[in-house]
Amino acid sequence: MEHLFDAGPDCRIPWRRPLVSDTDSGRERPAAHRAALHSEAAERTAFTNLFSGGLARGLPTRLTDEIGAVRAEAPPYPLATAALVPIARAAAGRGETGFLPMWSGQAAKLANPLPARELTDRLARDALELLNRRA
């Protein structure tokens, strides 16, 4: 992490081991999403605008596989999410998770899942240690 302090604001973060929280926006990730992050599916992420209306990287899902990951017809942010909620809920009620967003970075299989609080504490502790070392 120390190299980030010297790299300036335009640096890219070359993490040796990706970090991932076991929660998403304060909610626990669905079991299917957690499992997919450690499956072969995590080897082929792609950008999609279907779930949020803006481009974001995620794992392939039934929806992105069947109609394509990026569609001009996708409603803009934040309307895309609301448009999919009824479909995703109905499908989830039948055990189908292919209409849920499966957000992911490029190296998900390498990550160690941590509770969000533990992940935040770890990042803060590492950053403070580096700052104190430089003081």
Query: For 82-103, what is the mean pLDDT?
Result: 92
Run of H or E including 74: none
pLDDT score, position 20: 56
What are the residue boundaries of the structural domains of the chain, listed by start?
Answer: 18-134
**8 Å CB contact between 74 and 53:** yes
- Residue 31's pLDDT is 82
Q: What is the pLDDT of residue 21?
A: 54
Q: pTM for the full model?
A: 0.66
CA distances from residue 118 to 20, 35, 113, 115, 122 in whole angstroms, order as listed: 11, 20, 10, 5, 6
Q: Report how far residue 45's alpha carbon sits from residue 109's, in angstroms, rounded to the nearest whole number.
A: 11
